[in-house]
Structure 1
Amino acid sequence: MMNIPVKKPRAYFKWQNLVLVITLLLLLVSALPNFYGKQANIRLTPRSEASKPVTPQAIKALFSGQQLSGQDLSGEELSGQAQLLDRISVTQAYTDILVPDEAARIRAEKVLKDNFSGDYLVSTVITSDAPAWLQALGGEPVKLGLDLSGGVLFVLDVDIEQALTERLQQISLSLKSMAMEHKLRGVKVAVTGQSEISLTLADNSRQSLKPLLAEINRVYPELTPTSISTRQLKLNHADPELVKFRQQIMKQTIKTMRGRIEELGITEAVTQQQGKNRIRIELPGVHDPEQAKRIIGATASLEFYQLAENSRAMGVKRIKDENGRGLLLNSQAVFTGANIKNAQSGRDQMGAPLVNLTLDNAGGKKMSAFSKANIGKPMVTVFSEFYRNQNNEAVKKSKVINVATIRSHLGAQFSITNMPSLQEAQELALLLRAGSLTAPVTIVKQQTIEATLGADNIDKGIKALTLGIVLTLVFMLVWYRGLGLIANLALALNLMSLLGLMSLLPGAVLTLPGIAGLVLTVGMAVDTNVLIFERIKEELKRGRKVLSAIEAGYKHAFATILDANITTLITGLILYAIGYGAVKGFALILCLGILTSILTGVFVSKALTNMAIRENKDKLLGVTL
């Protein structure tokens, strides 16, 4: 049979090979950090300049009493039974304690916090064993999910209806002030439904209704008048506005939660919406669930009020200070925690804890105008949070944390003093930096996964992946002989490329279902080569020479491979978009695996074939084709 002339493999453009080499090198370098281990150092940092770093002798004595052992830099063994510490190093600023594994870190950290948390900050510093040049490139290993590294899972319920009620109450107070500004007497404002506000006017106020309605439409365009009579005006949220409000509440809550998690120093966390009003939070590597629960579950907000006796606005808020003294506050806050741009804890000149606040542009203007007009008068700082009562109802609890006299004209920066303790000042600053929550949240599910379980999951996943790879390599070598060697090399490059791609993507997290996706990726990558090699065998049976059959096989099989992978990629993208947790982890590996399989299974495999087979010969590396 006559062979149809085709372009020779050696005519494959060199720039294409150069692009492939550069891409593979980039992915391989980014995958290298995954092959180096990490060391966990527990760091003791003095909280004040007066304190000195803890000495190795003090730590030896502490862990000797705990029947735990280790060795310092000189190699001296600590007495005891269990090996907990590797070495202790001391600098002028801190003390570092190297531990051998995660279980030892948890035990040692607990002992140190119980004994040193008052005067020292106990933190964990992770260092990599990777060479300096690789660390200089910024290489990071793949982030492990909750099921592989251990940690805590929270599911939060967001009370959107309570947020809507709070919003309507704030609007009603604002409407009372508007009515007062328009000199309307006997105005009654009430929240009459889940999304409705009713205004009842006195008989002598009819003429001022239109100007008031015009201002309401300007300030609150989301409110729609549904019933207007000579004395009564009803305003409510239309259904599209309610949907928009609920979406905004969920977005704001998720953003706030992510901010709080970042303040905790957790970079591999997963925070995503689950259903209409729930949020799923995964905190890999967290082994102190109470601390995370205290920060994540807090629904704290901060408001600054003027005493009612110094204000002519309508509405009074009654509250008691820490001494039980009753205070009458203006019902409308001067500004709230939403205007706070930054918050840092610290101490004043007398050593008392405080929180230094920095306001945004709008908050700074409000504070400037208010303080200028109220020098010598008090301003009350109120801290509020929601909690669930015995009937599972959201109840707002407020307390006065500061009553300060305004001594001068203030701007965007000022301080909250008289904080009970430095820890409370630090937690308040953290919450204010991350943002206050508009809607109350309730932790409806909490699950802790131990690090040992995560290590067991990794071990089983790697065994499954290794078994799948070995069987696949053997099959390809036996069935396709010489071409199978190229397929196996392409498969190895595929796995390395996938690992490197996951390391490059900041949002990629490897989970246990993700390992299952890796196993599936191996099968998909081999399937790509199977389609090509079977096509090559068909072309050889038709009488083509080896070079011609290889070129035709890659060319004609590509369309089929592309169609199959695109349909699978669409499915993976849908799973990633609507799924969460395990489904999302699996979909991520599936989608990335499809991309790397096409890269290595088609383009890299073809380049390797063209390099290995340059003549119409029957053997490749001594193996029959």
Structure 2
Amino acid sequence: MLNKYPLWKNLLIVAVLLIGALYAAPNIYPEDYAIQITGSREVHAVDASLMEQVTNALSEQGISVKATEIENGSGLIRFADSDTQLTAKDTVHKVVGDNYVVALNLAPTTPEWLTSLGAGPMKLGLDLRGGVHFLLEVDLPKAVGQKLENYASEIKGKLREEKLRYRTLDIENSVMVVKFSDAAVRDQALEVLKKEYPNFLINSEEQGGDYFVTVALSEQAIRDIETYAIKQNLTTLRNRVNELGVAEPLVQRQGRNRIVVQLPGIQDTAAAKRIIGKTATLEFRLEAKPGTSAARNEIHSFRDDPERKATLENDIIIKGDNVANAQASFDENGQPQVNITLDSKGGELMARTTKGAVQRRMAVLFVEDKERTVYKTVDGEQVAEKIRYQEKGIISLATIQSVLGSSFRITGLDGAGESSELALLLRAGALAAPIYFVEERTVGPSLGAQNIETGLLSVQIGFALVLVFMLVYYRVFGLLANIALTLNLVLLVAVMSLLSATLTLPGIAGIVLTVGMAVDANVLIFSRIREELKNGLPPQSAINAGFGRAFTTIFDANITTLIAAVILFAMGTGPVKGFAVTLSVGILTSMFTAIMVTRALVNLVYGGRQIKKLSI
């Protein structure tokens, strides 16, 4: 029988539409303005007592709280509007202190029964939703200082290798000063260093019976170090952002020593701030031998027990930037650990050092650059001042049983969360210099709301005009096409939500284009039906011929557009990708609705009936 789908095909279409409606539904629930509180370390979990302190402090300030919740050691406070959210942030930070990250957020209100099915709202880009914006400052003087320390370790090793005894090697005002007790040894060292480091400014001095060699960086060398630090930090931050799974992020340099990071559509901004801003690395050092000079050693505490201390050598075997890969796992006792794989240089240095240090103990030192906020009263007002400092703590101190190579493991971590975070930081790459948050903000909600309103208005106007045209020009068939077009938008939103694609303003333009393209397919089909009717075919045959013979033309037109969209996605960046994603998804959904859904509706109205005239 003409124009009748089998039952299975009708059920399939209904099932697809119902699933589409289900997964598009979360987008009708608006998000709450919220503040998220997350511990800077695994041991600093948010509990009910802390949340009570925060809510009491907000109440004293006359700030109303919509709701609070605690999940996985992280606290969330919901507010009615963005102004209340912004006002509350400073109060919350004062209560929780620097052991917690306080971040602005937008919390979903999707019902639990939908989230349990894996349904969630579509992510909005920075131009629509707002999102988190960080301005980071790179500590370039620290980068130069760290490089000098590395060179100092290299020079010490070189002098020992050449059997040139020196008394001390110190860094004073960005200059390495090597002290000798013999002029002849000093002169030999001078020749060796000039040969090994031709780009350095190396001179000899004599004072009070002591003989010195000074090693200073040239201006060009300092500029090269600073340039490298910025580039390395950019690469590391991009890797960290990729580990977070953020869609369409922006990480770029601004000015001489600053980096802009924009993260649209991210839910856990507190975790993003903690991971991105964490300047953490590892140092592997040998435990000092008893009786060695105090000038060559440092005393450090253990991270899990500050009362417990160990004396370590100043010389660093390797640092975190020699790590090629890091994966979190558990040892045979179920304790968290990180499996480390070093690069070729790191493996060589580790093997060379441990070869002569079997049965000695080696420490893994966790080094982190941090900021502390101190509130001072100036002219009767409290002013926040940032104090930068470095925190070092021993993670593990284990006996070297045999020569170590490029693969080994780190134990002694506080928990699975810390092992995962440490592995992520090491895997993403070490920062060449500390970075500090200069500015943190969300793109103004009024800007986002205005963009959304403008974009939605453009979709509504385009949609309304198309509906009116189809209804007037094609009558009943136009009505059926309009129903299919509405379902097409529902499916498009559902697929975008399922793919966790980010909708941007150019993406909305892609939706408007999709509306036009979806109707274009129906126009081709309906025009073909009219032609067949004029050629004398009966209505049922005309319908069948119209859908059948227009399919090839529709398929060819859409497949070429889809190819162009895929190329745009592969080659483009940012807004271009956003446009390509919605266009690609829209092409696929529009072909389904324009051909199958419209045909099913036409079959429902006209199929299997004796008709003499079509309303088309």
Given the superposition, is the C-alpha separation of residues 60 and 435 from structure 1 closer, same or farther in structure 2, using an over 3 Å criterion? closer
Instruction: Kindly indicate whether residue 485 of structure 2 is the aligned counterpart of residue 491 of structure 1.
Output: yes
Q: Could you state the TM-score of these two structures normalised by the residue count of structure 1? A: 0.61
Structure 2 counterpart of 1:463 = 457
Structure 2 counterpart of 1:608 = 601
What is the alpha-carbon distance in structure 2 between the residues aligned to residue 427 and residue 530 of structure 1? 55
Structure 2 counterpart of 1:569 = 562
What is the alpha-carbon distance in structure 2 between the residues aligned to residue 151 and residue 609 of structure 1? 44
**SS across alignment from 2:604:** helix
1:55-94 superposed matches below 5 A: 62-63=57-58, 66-68=61-63, 70=64, 85-86=65-66
Given the superposition, is the C-alpha separation of residues 192 and 318 from structure 1 closer, same or farther in structure 2, using an over 3 Å criterion? farther
Question: 1:283: how far off?
Answer: 0.9
Question: 1:63: how far off?
Answer: 4.0
Contact 2:23–2:498 (CA under 8 A) maintained in structure 1: yes
Question: 1:190: how far off?
Answer: 5.2
What is the alpha-carbon distance in structure 1 between the residues aligned to residue 549 and residue 241 of structure 2? 51
Question: 1:559: how far off?
Answer: 1.3
**SS across alignment from 2:284:** strand
1:341-490 superposed matches below 5 A: 341-342=327-328, 358-360=337-339, 362=341, 370=354, 373=357, 375=359, 379=363, 381=365, 383=367, 401=392, 406=397, 408=399, 412-415=409-412, 429=422, 432=425, 435-437=428-430, 449-490=443-484
Structure 2 counterpart of 1:584 = 577
Structure 2 counterpart of 1:133, one-letter code: W
- Residue number among 99, 104, 112 corresponding to 2:92 in the alignment: 112
Structure 2 counterpart of 1:258, one-letter code: N
Contact 1:152–1:287 (CA under 8 A) maintained in structure 2: no
1:79-478 superposed matches below 5 A: 85-86=65-66, 97-117=77-97, 128-152=108-132, 254-259=238-243, 262=244, 268-271=246-249, 282-284=262-264, 296=276, 300-306=280-286, 329=315, 336-338=322-324, 340-342=326-328, 358-360=337-339, 362=341, 370=354, 373=357, 375=359, 379=363, 381=365, 383=367, 401=392, 406=397, 408=399, 412-415=409-412, 429=422, 432=425, 435-437=428-430, 449-478=443-472
Question: 1:257: how far off?
Answer: 3.3
Question: 1:470: how far off?
Answer: 0.9
What is the alpha-carbon distance in structure 2 between the residues aligned to residue 284 and residue 29 of structure 1? 25
What is the alpha-carbon distance in structure 1 between the residues aligned to residue 469 and residue 119 of structure 2? 35
Query: Deviation digits for residues 69-117 of structure 1, max 9, x if unmatched?
Result: x3xxxxxxxxxxxxxx3356899x9986441134433332332222333
What is the alpha-carbon distance in structure 2 between the residues aligned to residue 530 and residue 96 of structure 1? 51
Structure 2 counterpart of 1:136, one-letter code: S
Given the superposition, is the C-alpha separation of residues 50 and 473 from structure 1 closer, same or farther in structure 2, using an over 3 Å criterion? closer
Question: 1:372: how far off?
Answer: 11
Structure 1 counterpart of 2:536 = 543
What is the alpha-carbon distance in structure 2 between the residues aligned to residue 49 and residue 332 of structure 1? 32
What is the alpha-carbon distance in structure 1 between the residues aligned to residue 359 and residue 508 of structure 2? 64
Given the superposition, is the C-alpha separation of residues 135 and 619 from structure 1 closer, same or farther in structure 2, using an over 3 Å criterion? farther
**SS across alignment from 1:412:** strand
Contact 1:44–1:54 (CA under 8 A) maintained in structure 2: no
User: For the aligned residues, what is the CA RMSD?
Assistant: 5.6
Deviating more after overlay: 575-584 vs 408-417: 408-417
**SS across alignment from 1:20:** helix
Structure 1 counterpart of 2:16 = 23
Contact 1:303–1:336 (CA under 8 A) maintained in structure 2: no
Question: 1:555: how far off?
Answer: 1.4
Structure 1 counterpart of 2:492, one-letter code: L
What is the alpha-carbon distance in structure 2 between the residues aligned to residue 609 and residue 50 of structure 1? 58
What is the alpha-carbon distance in structure 2 between the residues aligned to residue 107 and residue 427 of structure 1? 34
Contact 1:271–1:279 (CA under 8 A) maintained in structure 2: no
- Residue number among 516, 519, 523 corresponding to 2:512 in the alignment: 519
Contact 2:38–2:270 (CA under 8 A) maintained in structure 1: no
Contact 2:250–2:262 (CA under 8 A) maintained in structure 1: no
**SS across alignment from 1:571:** helix
What is the alpha-carbon distance in structure 1 between the residues aligned to residue 591 and residue 98 of structure 2? 57
Contact 1:256–1:437 (CA under 8 A) maintained in structure 2: no
Contact 1:147–1:511 (CA under 8 A) maintained in structure 2: yes
Structure 2 counterpart of 1:593 = 586
Contact 1:41–1:97 (CA under 8 A) maintained in structure 2: yes
What is the alpha-carbon distance in structure 2 between the residues aligned to residue 372 and residue 414 of structure 1? 23
Question: 1:577: how far off?
Answer: 0.9
Deviating more after overlay: 441-450 vs 59-68: 441-450
Given the superposition, is the C-alpha separation of residues 587 and 39 from structure 1 closer, same or farther in structure 2, using an over 3 Å criterion? same
Structure 2 counterpart of 1:502, one-letter code: M
Instruction: Kindly indicate whether residue 528 of structure 2 is the aligned counterpart of residue 528 of structure 1.
Output: no
Given the superposition, is the C-alpha separation of residues 97 and 547 from structure 1 closer, same or farther in structure 2, using an over 3 Å criterion? same
What is the alpha-carbon distance in structure 2 between the residues aligned to residue 319 and residue 123 of structure 1? 40
Contact 2:366–2:392 (CA under 8 A) maintained in structure 1: yes
What is the alpha-carbon distance in structure 2 between the residues aligned to residue 120 and residue 307 of structure 1? 32
What is the alpha-carbon distance in structure 1 between the residues aligned to residue 47 and residue 55 of structure 2? 19
Given the superposition, is the C-alpha separation of residues 550 and 89 from structure 1 closer, same or farther in structure 2, using an over 3 Å criterion? closer
Contact 2:283–2:317 (CA under 8 A) maintained in structure 1: no
Query: Deviation digits for residues 540-582 of structure 1, max 9, x if unmatched?
Result: 1111111111111111211111111111111111111111111
Question: 1:23: how far off?
Answer: 2.0
Structure 2 counterpart of 1:559 = 552
What is the alpha-carbon distance in structure 2 between the residues aligned to residue 281 and residue 511 of structure 1? 17
Q: Could you state the TM-score of these two structures normalised by the residue count of structure 2? A: 0.62
**SS across alignment from 1:147:** coil
What is the alpha-carbon distance in structure 2 between the residues aligned to residue 450 and residue 272 of structure 1? 17
What is the alpha-carbon distance in structure 2 between the residues aligned to residue 609 and residue 99 of structure 1? 49
Given the superposition, is the C-alpha separation of residues 577 and 156 from structure 1 closer, same or farther in structure 2, using an over 3 Å criterion? farther
What is the alpha-carbon distance in structure 1 between the residues aligned to residue 2 and residue 421 of structure 2? 71
What is the alpha-carbon distance in structure 2 between the residues aligned to residue 120 and residue 518 of structure 1? 41
Contact 2:506–2:576 (CA under 8 A) maintained in structure 1: yes
What is the alpha-carbon distance in structure 2 between the residues aligned to residue 583 and residue 190 of structure 1? 50
Contact 1:147–1:457 (CA under 8 A) maintained in structure 2: yes
Question: 1:28: how far off?
Answer: 1.8
Contact 2:462–2:512 (CA under 8 A) maintained in structure 1: yes
Which segments of 5 or more consecutive residues in structure 1 lack a partner in the other structure? 1-6, 71-84, 181-185, 194-246, 311-316, 345-355, 386-397, 418-424
Name the count of aligned residue pairs: 489
Which segments of 5 or more consecutive residues in structure 2 lack a partner in the other structure? 162-190, 200-230, 302-310, 370-388, 402-407
**SS across alignment from 1:53:** helix
Contact 2:249–2:264 (CA under 8 A) maintained in structure 1: no
**SS across alignment from 2:127:** helix
